[in-house]
Amino acid sequence: MIAACIEVHRHLGPGLLESAYEQCLCHELSLRSLSFERQRPLPLVYKGVHLECGYRLDVVVGSCLIVEVKAVERLLPVHEAQALTYLRLTRLPAALVVNFNVAVLRHGLRRLSYNPNHPFPPSCNIVLHPKKQGRPHRESHRDGGVDRIAALLEDVRADLGGKGIVHGDNAVPA
């Protein structure tokens, strides 16, 4: 999957719209004979009411990986939170957030999973540090947004009924 993303980025470079990258990525997946679904509808159920809000998953590969295509200046915590919410709503095991608007594609990749034993390694780990008095801390070489990520993860955890989530290799307990 990542090789297909790299191939698209190598040919197009940064600076285009998300829709162009999405269409080219789907073409690349077809060339590689990978099964995928583009713009898969994501129904939303709120207190038993089915809402047709128009949410769509950019690409679902092999019925097990959500690929969220971005073309932004930099990935923000809200982009990871969006992918985590999609994982929770679809119950799919993994997501890949790909920002094509970067000079080197590896700086625009975020891998997320609810299952720590999943074959996709995480982009970062959320761990509890005693020095931070039990507050989640993001271990990563990437910059910023630790408090915002922690707040977003708390919201996702609350939506899961306090069961906790797994982000990367470490569980964030309830």
pLDDT, tens digit, for every residue of 55-79? 999 999 998 999 999 999 999 999 9
Name which of 4, 11, 5, 3 is nearest 99 in CA terms.
5
Q: How many helices (H) and strands (E) does the chain have?
A: 4, 11
d(CA 51, CA 134): 37
Secondary structure class of 58 (helix, strand, coil): strand
**Residue 58 confidence (pLDDT):** 96
Angle 6-10-15 from CA coordinates, rounded to 5°: 105
- Looking at per-residue pLDDT, the higher value among 150 and 53 belongs to 53
Domain boundaries, the chain: 2-172
Whether residue 114 has pLDDT greater than 50: yes
Answer whether 0.75 is exceeded by the pTM: no
Q: How confident is the model at residue 159 (pLDDT cuts 50, 70, 90)?
A: low
